[in-house]
Structure 1
Amino acid sequence: MADPVTITLVAKAAIMAAADKRTWKAVGVLIAAILTPFILIIVMISSLLSGTANHNNAAVQLSFHDGVISGQVPEDYREYIEDMRKSFSKLDVIIAEITLMIEDGSLDPVQVKAIFYSLYFGAESLRGIDYQSFTECFVRYEERTHTWSDEDGVEHEESYTAAVPLTSLPVIYRNLESTLGRRISYENQANASEIYYRALYGTGAAGEGDRFDQWSDWLPEQFVNPVYDLAVGETGSQAVQLALSRLGDPYSQELRGRAGYTDCSYLVQWIYRQLKVNLPGTAAEQGKYCVNNGLTVSKADLAPGDLVFWSHKVNGRYLNITHVGIYAGNGKVVDASSSRGRVVYRDLFDADKQVLYARPYGSKTAQ
């Protein structure tokens, strides 16, 4: 049984979270779970009080990998997991049928199920879902021909239909929106990525990075709020020198700040911390901070030391920002690159993915 401290924390979390109707349901489930084992309570808190941003890893594992559902799990939550298992079984049958039509590549069943989970987990009813049409959103069909020889050596030509797995998530989501007749929000898409990683690896998806192959044709929404005429100072030059001092340092989100490891946002935070400018710890929050404090500039006004923000995928964060680097002047940037595994000095890249530019040490002089 949970100790008094745990019960107090759960009660406080429930009170703070009870701001909307959706969370009231979560509070009810938490109250029912008070007497369950301590680990189960923590799992429920991480899922139910944070909406769809943080997923219940236990529910994902049970849905994707079976296992015994504890008798302590609330009844409605048990039903959601069982509904997913039944749906996944139907999807498996269709995936197997489509796989027989694939000649090159393969259909990723975890991806299909992760997106289905993000759209339907917790739904009141799964009746009427067209599982065939849903799964076919992940492939395209081609008419092909092949020749064969009969016993007399006579060649014959036959036409057949081949399934080609899609590798672009934006294309898949466009197919799904057309098929389902609904908009799939950025939050849904971010949740699907999170679920995919939790199902495969038991951990959350990477929120930062400079390259995400499945989102190669992702066209982010550009920042349209006003930019400011900010004075250029020596601080920017100092920021570049500090950035260059970290060239070659190894990249790691998990180990950032230890033994020389860094990721893109930690590099920026570390640089400006030396210059007495305190920035948040993620690229998205750094972008949000600059917007909220009137520190945004135009691309045409970029100066050494300015920040460049990219959106390479849907991650559910501010402006879907996934990467940040330090502009070094002359069309160059210094950034901690996940794709290259280290801090690099390179050309300013992916112009179509740049969503924001900022001067974090600036002060507004005109608008």
Structure 2
Amino acid sequence: MNKKLTATALSMALALTIGTGSVFADSSLEKVVDSTIGVNYKSGGTTTNGFDCSGYTRYVFLKLGITLPHQSASQYHMGQEVSRAELRAGDLVFFNTSGKGVSHVGVYVGNGKFSHSSSSKGVIITSLGQSYWAERYVGAKRIMSTAKYEAATYN
């Protein structure tokens, strides 16, 4: 019951964060992200039974028809580099949490926030501006073509 309540609260927070006026609201990308909020962290996990960070991004993109490898560093070598100022919903954001290069990945959802599978909290929405993430931010990659982006965010 508590887990369900937490997932519901996080889903409501996501809906309020994104807002009904957003391009992202009610889109296939939003629906996939929303359906995973509160899923537990699981090392090596790639399903709604539990995700690690790259398993989570792989799952989200598979639902959108795009296949990603299951490793954050491998995902970092894909797509087109995007500046932080040019981020759009669906871009992958990367972090160095280990001190040894890219070791964490999430999906940018707009308004300075990203969804990711946290090892301590499971799938959550977090601000890129939080000091922990801001200090470890490595960069972002655009994986979706404009056509895929429009299909994922405008329906």
TM-score w.r.t. the length of structure 2 is 0.69
Would you say 1:268 and 2:48 are equivalent positions? no
Supply the distance in 1 between the matched residues of 2:66 and 2:57 (Cα, whole angstroms).
10
Q: How does 1:166-245 map to 2 (within 5 A)?
A: 237-245=27-35
Q: Is the 8 A contact 1:240 1:305 kept in 2?
A: no
Supply the distance in 1 between the matched residues of 2:127 and 2:58 (Cα, whole angstroms).
21
Tell me which structure has the larger Cα radius of gyration. 1
Supply the distance in 2 between the matched residues of 1:297 and 1:238 (Cα, whole angstroms).
22
Q: Is the 8 A contact 1:240 1:327 kept in 2?
A: no
Aligned match for 1:280, one of 69, 81, 101: 69
Aligned to 1:304: 89
Supply the distance in 2 between the matched residues of 1:251 and 1:258 (Cα, whole angstroms).
10
Letter in 2 for 1:307: L
Q: Is the 8 A contact 2:47 2:59 kept in 1?
A: no
Letter in 1 for 2:63: Q
Would you say 1:337 and 2:113 are equivalent positions? no
Summarize the Cα distance change of 1:331–1:259 in structure 2 as closer, same or farther, 3 Å threshold: closer
Supply the distance in 1 between the matched residues of 2:86 and 2:29 (Cα, whole angstroms).
17
Supply the distance in 2 between the matched residues of 1:362 and 1:288 (Cα, whole angstroms).
16
Question: Which segments of 5 or more consecutive residues in structure 2 lack a partner in the other structure?
Answer: 1-22, 147-155
Query: Shift of residue 353 of structure 1?
Result: 1.1
Query: Shift of residue 244 of structure 1?
Result: 1.9
Summarize the Cα distance change of 1:249–1:306 in structure 2 as closer, same or farther, 3 Å threshold: same
TM-score w.r.t. the length of structure 1 is 0.31
Would you say 1:289 and 2:78 are equivalent positions? yes
Residue identity over aligned pairs, in percent, reads: 31
- SS of residue paired to 2:51: coil
Supply the distance in 2 between the matched residues of 1:298 and 1:354 (Cα, whole angstroms).
12
- SS of residue paired to 1:289: coil
Letter in 2 for 1:246: T
Supply the distance in 2 between the matched residues of 1:332 and 1:296 (Cα, whole angstroms).
18
Backbone CA RMSD of aligned residues:
2.0
Runs of at least 4 residues of structure 1 off by over 2 A?
Answer: 237-241
Supply the distance in 2 between the matched residues of 1:358 and 1:238 (Cα, whole angstroms).
20
Aligned to 1:178: none
Instruction: Answer 1 or 2: which has greater helix percent.
Output: 1
Q: Deviations over 1:293-342 (max 9, x none)?
A: xx111100011111110012234xxxx111111111111111100132x1
Aligned to 2:103: 322
Summarize the Cα distance change of 1:240–1:287 in structure 2 as closer, same or farther, 3 Å threshold: farther
Supply the distance in 1 between the matched residues of 2:95 and 2:138 (Cα, whole angstroms).
6
Instruction: Answer 1 or 2: which has greater strand percent.
Output: 2
Alignment: residue pair count = 119
Bigger RCO (CA 8 Å, 6+ sep): 2
Q: How does 1:11-160 map to 2 (within 5 A)?
A: none
Supply the distance in 2 between the matched residues of 1:258 and 1:304 (Cα, whole angstroms).
22
Letter in 2 for 1:277: I
Query: Shift of residue 239 of structure 1?
Result: 2.6
- SS of residue paired to 1:326: strand
Supply the distance in 2 between the matched residues of 1:270 and 1:258 (Cα, whole angstroms).
7
- SS of residue paired to 1:296: strand
